[in-house]
Amino acid sequence: MSADELYMQRCLELAALGAGYVSPNPMVGAVLVADGKIIGEGYHQRYGEAHAEVNAIQNVLSNYPNAEALLQQSTMYVSLEPCAHFGKTPPCSDLIVKYQIPKVVIGCRDPYTEVNGKGIYKLQAAGIDVIEGVLNQECLSFNKRFFTRIGKQRPYIILKWAQTSDGYFAPEQGQKWISSEASKKLTHRWRSEEDAVLVGYRTALNDDPQLNVREWTGRNPKRIVIDRSLSLPKTLSLFDQSQETLVFNAVKTEIDGQIKYLELENFDTLLPQSICYQLYLMDVQSLIIEGGAHTLELFIKAGLWDEARVFTGAQIWTKGIKAPLLNAEPAEQQNIDTDQLTIYYREI
């Protein structure tokens, strides 16, 4: 790796610290370097708060008595193009110009209409040397949730399920656990990293899932359930008012504390599309679909998925409800305790 790539890799490491807290903003990290030494670091820590560039500059100002002079001979590395507009915070490009940072190295452009090249133009107009495209693909992949929401006007969709070694998803009646405790804990970590988690009617009724992160430390996602006729018992964990819960239905739109009922049309033809568009309007940037088999297959058939995470346990059932099938090749595989985790990416 070149020096520029090493510093950009550090930006991505910093950016990852904001996972689960900055959506619908992108995760961004920034590093300031002077005389071959890192003098300041920062990342976007929470939605609505200071961006990575601001925190990196503040880091220098707080630690060096000659901070302004150091900034004037430094290079800023940032994983995403600095913003050029007033949003929740002032434009980062203006702050870079204010402190006369002479060079900025950018991982990738921001596709958001209010930015997309405008931040780079503002820096260059101020005489700042701008280099873009360092670890470009890595930076694009890192913020794939953000880019999917902006480019496709829907959340980044992750399918997740467990299956037996002979390909069964669930028993024909009742409930049986397939994956290990380690896989369960990993699932809770994933929930803490995404905006929302969705299940279908039968999964809610048969499994009574809590859809929280009790096995992990982090914030709970929005819970989403599909209940066309609003016939799910209110005694289910989903209705305990402990976290924001969306109920997509064909009956009413109403708010009851933490429970939001959203009426949808086209239940028989365009249900996945309608759900995706409503979540986009609500700034939901990423969604995990955890079942059941019918719900997963609805999104697969509609081509509305980006990634699938499949746990395969050691059990053999010989009968039951078959697991969904993907028209995709495995991209990654690893062992999680007694399970095998296989990750797929949808080819576009």
Active site residues: 53
CB 27 within 8 Å of CB 143: yes
Quote the distance between the C-alpha of residue 302 and its chain's center. 21
Q: How many CB atoms lie within 10 A of CB 89?
A: 15
**Tokens 């693909």 map to which residue?**
137
- Distance CA(85)–CA(113), nearest Å, equals 10
CB 81 within 8 Å of CB 87: no
- Inter-axis angle of helices 271-281 and 293-301, nearest 10: 80
What are the structure tokens assigned to 242, written together?
């402990």
**Tokens 């599909």 map to which residue?**
226
- Distance from the first to the final alpha carbon of the chain: 30
Q: How would you classify the pairing of strands 29-34 and 103-108?
A: unpaired
Closest by Cα among 271, 293, 278 to 160: 293
What are the structure tokens assigned to 42, written together?
């920062």
State the amino acid at position 175 in one-letter form: Q
